[in-house]
Amino acid sequence: ETGVTQTPRHLVMGMTNKKSLKCEQHLGHNAMYWYKQSAKKPLELMFVYSLEERVENNSVPSRFSPECPNSSHLFLHLHTLQPEDSALYLCASSLEPNTEAFFGQGTRLTVV
Amino acid sequence: AQSVTQLGSHVSVSEGALVLLRCNYSSSVPPYLFWYVQYPNQGLQLLLKYTSAATLVKGINGFEAEFKKSETSFHLTKPSAHMSDAAEYFCAVSEGYGNKLVFGAGTILRVKS
């Protein structure tokens, strides 16, 4: 039990679909993150939220839209994705931004 | 800006043999260094971290790492590999508290029986 829970664990979606990934942390942390992990590529930081405010957006395409309604929940809204967006999407949290991160188990996304 | 290089994308050892996973970093200030492990279809789990205290850091599952400033290295070791150690290992660096974590490309450890 890592304290960071992601749902769903697996998702298959068509390129015209709209779906959302959910992340919840029970650690009392103030910062939350979305990472993308693709085969044979380093872990890519997508978004950082601190106290529900977005503090970093690493040139992520607009078809990925994050939402952080409170410090315990983080969403990643997906629309009109491309097959190359297929990857493992990892959520993480930390006490403060960019300190030791605790990861969820990830959502394996396949875009068909 | 900080960076991490993990030498060897795949490492194979026999059960009971020494595990050595290499990590070299680049940082303009004294770094914080981390090792994470990822089992198949799981997220990353922190193994150990160095934050400017003792240079030899002990982590979970019998792993340890030594910070060597002169070599800009933070190699991960375990005296005796177990089958359950088979996973992917990531080294990460940040330029101190509150600074961005940068991950290496990962090393897949295979343990042969």
Is the torsion defined by CA of B74, B107, B59, B26 positive or negative?
Answer: positive
Residue B25 contacts A, CB cutoff 8 Å: no
Q: Which single residue is written with the structure tokens 């790492």?
A: B65
Contact state of A41 with B34 under an 8 Å Cβ cutoff: no
Residue B41 contacts A, CB cutoff 8 Å: yes
B70 CA: distance to closest CA in chain A (Å): 25
- What residues have CB less than 8 Å from A102, skipping those under 6 apart? A2, A3, A4, A25, A27, A29, A92, A93, A94, B46
Q: Which residues of B touch A42 (CB under 8 A)?
A: 103-106
Nearest by CB to B97, which of A4, A6, A99? A99
Q: Which single residue is written with the structure tokens 């400017």?
A: B52
Give residue-wise pLDDT tens across range A6-52: 999 999 999 989 999 999 999 999 999 999 999 878 888 899 898 88
Q: What mean pLDDT comes out for the span A59-87?
A: 94
Q: What mean pLDDT comes out for the span A76-105?
A: 91
Give residue-wise pLDDT tens across range B62-109: 999 999 999 999 999 999 999 999 999 999 998 766 667 889 999 999
**Residue A88: pLDDT above 80?**
yes
pLDDT in the model for residue A56? 77
Contact state of B43 with A42 under an 8 Å Cβ cutoff: no
